[in-house]
Amino acid sequence: MKHLSPMVRWYFLLDYRFYIIHISLATVILWSILLHMFPPANNETVVSALIFLDPAILGFVFIGAFVLYEKTNRSLLALTVTPMEPQEYLLTHIITLSSITVISSLVLVTLTRGLAVSYLYFFTGTILTSAFFVLAGFVAVSRFSTVNDYFIAGSVALLLLNIPLIYHFGLSDNWLFYLFPTQASLLLFSGIFGPVSLADSIYSITMLSVWITLFYLVAKKMFYSHIIQEGE
């Protein structure tokens, strides 16, 4: 892991150069303005859903964009001949994109609901959800080489992962939503503003941890099979 620190600094710089940080902050500020313009929408259910969408889009979409960009200019292949390990590459993106998510989501919470929130649920939810979506995005994009090929598959996957929003907005209380890992994320984000049962808290942390571990193992395998071996 000795290459992790310089890689994190480098990818933070890329996030800045590619305006990912700017876009993320501008988006949450825009959401905040719109919610203040329409007070009935400025409620805990809507804000927690927007917090959920931040790591969902930032993690899933931008990791896909990064991987495709690096595949196109063959910089990702070049990384494979360095001492860098696949886990360092994955952890670098988890750290950088999760950090951006934490900052932008904190801005959204502060501007819309103030400072009187549960920071334990906030940090737990944003970090675990970001890690989940970064790894899920890498698994989804690794077998593709162009944006057009990835767009349809990635859109379908992201749509499926957003299905628990139906439960979140009270449109259904079917227990089957608890089979989705993103249901765990939404429960943790709900805990930022109100009570969540101990059972739901344990379920959420366990569910996300299991899926993060699973996607991490799959992502490492796909890094070898779809990036290193294809480049040899």
pLDDT tens digits for 129-174?
A: 999 999 998 888 888 777 777 878 888 888 999 999 999 999 999 9
Q: Tell me which residue range forms the domain holding 172.
A: 4-231
* DSSP per position, 141-184: HTT--SHHHHHHHHHHHHHHHTTTHHHHTTS---GGGGGSHHHH
Q: How far apart are CA 87 and CA 56, in angstroms?
A: 21
Radius of gyration of the chain (CA): 18
10 Å Cβ neighbour count for 222? 18
How does pLDDT run across 20-54, given as a tens digit for each residue? 889 999 999 999 999 888 887 778 899 999 999 98
> What total of structural domains would you count in the chain?
1
3 state DSSP class of 170: coil
Least Cα distance to 203 among 172, 180, 223 occurs for 180
CA 178 to chain centre: 19
Look at the pTM and tell me if it is higher than 0.85: yes
Ranges 56-65, 103-112, 162-171: which has the least confidence: 56-65
The pLDDT value given to residue 122: 96
